[in-house]
Amino acid sequence: MSEWQEFPKIELHLHIEGGAPPEFIRQLASEKGVSLEGVFAEDGAYAFRDFGHFLQVYEAATSVLRTPEDYLRLTRAVLAESAGHGVIYTEMFLSPDFCGGRDLAAWREYLAAIGEGAAQAEREHGIIMRGIVTPIRHFGPDKAKETALCAAETAGDFITGFGIGGDERAGKPRDFAWAFDCAREAGLRLTAHAGEWEGPDSVRAALDDLRVERIGHGVRAIEDPGLVERLARDGVVLEVCPGSNVALGLYPRLEDHPIARLREAGVKVTVSTDDPPFFRTTMTQEYDDLARAFGWGAEDFAEINRVAAQAAFCDEAIRDAIVKRLEAAP
């Protein structure tokens, strides 16, 4: 077992469908008599060639998730996996697009099921989950508005954030400003995927036009020293997913990844897995790889988790509880 497996961790960037263990998806497909040709590699893991193909395989694999009950089981499966890697608190991206096609009544049913799965996992494994409602950028601004209305109507103790995922190359952040304004007015905290497939301008636009406090990925900010300085000065938190970036070919090797340089420049970085089984990673694997590539040890990871705790979209009682659990670690 890796020395990092039981180290207490906070994860801020995980897509619920992207966390689906392949064996869970295979099981669901066989129960429903659905054929998933081309989704799996010979060793049983998910198979894809590049980012475009990844999105296709992702949609095919998750097409077997069709009912609230499926999402209850999915939530339990993903949280059990995370808890097995020392995660004590996690935020998951949830998309009304996949949960009832952005119909509010259907979304409420899916959300109740996900909440029940999360409550069961918390009782069984002690892991706490909060949800970030997330439109899919390449589905366009009109669908994002519908998603924002679902988010606004269900904002509360469990749904605490709003973000945007999908293909960053589709449209501009300002096209989604209405959706983000709607979510902000409902009291939701904001993040956006940016600076992954597009460069520094995309990060700047997310900050200026969507007024987010965290950035999903954001790593390509490193290409602009002025932006790095701004991120550090304003305390913008990056949800960095190193294994995802390497798996999708953004950087050839982890050693080339800018996470250490961003951190040295004073940017608040955190570590997450994004869509772990798709990228053949886990939180333990991320820590193992970062320790090897950059010589990081317990003090580095403890600091990264303190940053994540302060950046978590949760209330102060939960924050106090997770900070205590981080401090209690050996």
Alpha carbons within 13 angstroms on the beta-carbon side of residue 324 total 6
Applying CB under 5 A, which part among 183-191, 204-212, 270-278, 322-330 lies near Zn ion? 270-278
Set 168, 196, 239, 286: catalytic member: 196
Report which secondary-structure segment, H or E, holds 148.
helix 141-154
| Nearest to Zn ion of 19, 86 (CB atom) | 19
- Residues with Cβ within 8 Å of 40's Cβ and at least 6 positions away in sequence, in order, are 22, 26, 46, 47
Q: Is 274 in the site for Zn ion (CB under 5 A)?
A: yes
Q: What is the DSSP letter of 274?
A: B
107-111, Cβ contacts within 8 angstroms, sequence gap of 24 or more: 107/150, 107/154, 108/153, 108/154, 109/68, 110/68, 110/71, 111/154, 111/158, 111/159
| Nearest to Zn ion of 19, 258 (CB atom) | 19
For the window 225-264, what string marks contact with Zn ion as x by the rule CB under 5 A? ----------------------------------------
Q: Give the whole-angstrom CA distance, residue 217 versus residue 271.
A: 10
Instruction: Give min distance, CB of 321 to Zn ion, in A.
Output: 26
Query: Nearest-CB residue to Zn ion?
Result: 274
Residues near Zn ion (CB under 5 A), total: 1
Instruction: Give min distance, CB of 14 to Zn ion, in A.
Output: 8
Applying CB under 5 A, which part among 24-32, 102-110, 218-226, 271-279 lies near Zn ion? 271-279
| Contact status, residue 94 vs residue 136, Cβ threshold 8 Å | no
Instruction: Give min distance, CB of 166 to Zn ion, in A.
Output: 9
What token pair was written down for 158?
């469990």
End-to-end Cα distance, the chain:
17
| Nearest to Zn ion of 97, 274 (CB atom) | 274
The packing angle between helices 177-185 and 141-154, to 10°, is 10
Applying CB under 5 A, which part among 22-30, 134-142, 147-155, 267-275 lies near Zn ion? 267-275
| Nearest to Zn ion of 29, 183 (CB atom) | 183
| Contact status, residue 130 vs residue 160, Cβ threshold 8 Å | yes
The reply to whether 196 belongs to the active site is: yes
Instruction: Give min distance, CB of 79 to Zn ion, in A.
Output: 18
Instruction: Give min distance, CB of 165 to Zn ion, in A.
Output: 5
Catalytic residues, which ones?
196
Q: Give the residues lining the site for Zn ion (CB under 5 A).
A: 274
